[in-house]
Amino acid sequence: MVSVWIDQALSSSRSLATDLETAHKWLHRIAECLRYGNGSDHKGDDTGTQTEKAPLTSFQVQREMEDLLQQFVTEEEQHPAQFALKNKLQRLWHKYAANLLYCYDIPGLPPDNLKMETMFSHLRRHQRRISGRKSTAELRDFGQYQVLFLAQSEKQLLEQIQQVPVTEYKAQRRRLALSEAPRQQKHRLHHDPVSAIQSLVHQHQEILSVLESQALSY
């Protein structure tokens, strides 16, 4: 009796393993169709069908992918893994294909954002390390500048900062101050509401005085 159960389990696992193996092969064909992993410049195909005179285009990739989807025929009951892969791929392709194909027409545009996500993860880890806290809310305010100035030493950072014109630096500082003002005001209202409200009343009175003086001058 036990041997029968073992044979049934092996038979079921064998069919599932075959299904997964075939689905994995289809996944490789999809990656080859998208030229994924061959670099972000997409100058040509490793098979020799593309040359410098005939670079890879989004139209060609779209046509090849649609042909591949038509060839990918499977049934849910017999091949559940392949069927799930086909359905997921078809939904994603119909929904995002237009946005995914730009990288084949724009030189230097990467096919994914993995490097960017890696950089963001590095910034978050660095912020947690220097603050000792799990929250990385500070990156919402200063993260855009940390992205621009990634340096391994103070000397390298100074060289990068010195490349920015002084006028542009001052303009960006003013923009940063304006964007920081609402958050700073909320912080003051939360920690010292009396002083914050008195400051707002004082600002309001100053504005009224200016408006009244302007009205009298006319």
Same domain, 60 and 128: no
Looking at residue 28, its pLDDT comes to 92
The domain tally of the chain equals 3
Least confident of 92-101, 124-133, 146-155: 146-155
The string of pLDDT tens digits covering residues 160-205 is 888 889 998 899 889 888 888 888 888 888 989 999 899 889 989 9
Matching residue, tokens 């670079």: 55
Contact 57, 105 (CB under 8 A): yes
Q: Compute the Cα dihedral for 162, 164, 165, 168 and give only its sign.
A: negative
Same domain, 138 and 213: no
Last residue of a domain, which of 104, 131, 151? 104
Contact 74, 83 (CB under 8 A): yes
Report the distance separating Cα 86 and Cα 74, nearest Å: 8
Same domain, 152 and 85: no
Same domain, 47 and 100: yes
Looking at residue 156, its pLDDT comes to 83
Same domain, 133 and 83: no
Band of residue 45 on the pLDDT scale cut at 50, 70, 90: very low
Sequence-ordered list of residues with C-beta below 8 angstroms from that of 130, at least 6 positions apart, any chain = none
Same domain, 71 and 134: no
Same domain, 56 and 100: yes
Same domain, 151 and 196: no
Report the distance separating Cα 203 and Cα 164, nearest Å: 35
Same domain, 78 and 119: no
Last residue of a domain, which of 163, 184, 201? 163
State both tokens at 73: 């025929």
pTM of the predicted model, to two decimals?
Answer: 0.52
In the chain, DSSP finds a helix count (H) and a strand count (E) of: 8, 0
Same domain, 31 and 100: yes
Same domain, 80 and 132: no
Residue type, 198: Q
Last residue of a domain, which of 126, 144, 163? 163
Select from 31, 32, 55, 33 the least CA-distant residue to 42.
55
Alpha carbon distances (Å) from 89 to 52, 57, 65, 122, 201: 30, 21, 10, 31, 59
Checking if the pLDDT of 25 tops 90, the result is yes
Q: Would you say how long the chain is, in residues?
A: 218
Residue type, 207: I
Q: Which domain holds residue 126?
A: 113-163
The string of pLDDT tens digits covering residues 66-100 is 999 999 988 878 888 899 999 999 999 999 888 88
Same domain, 27 and 78: yes
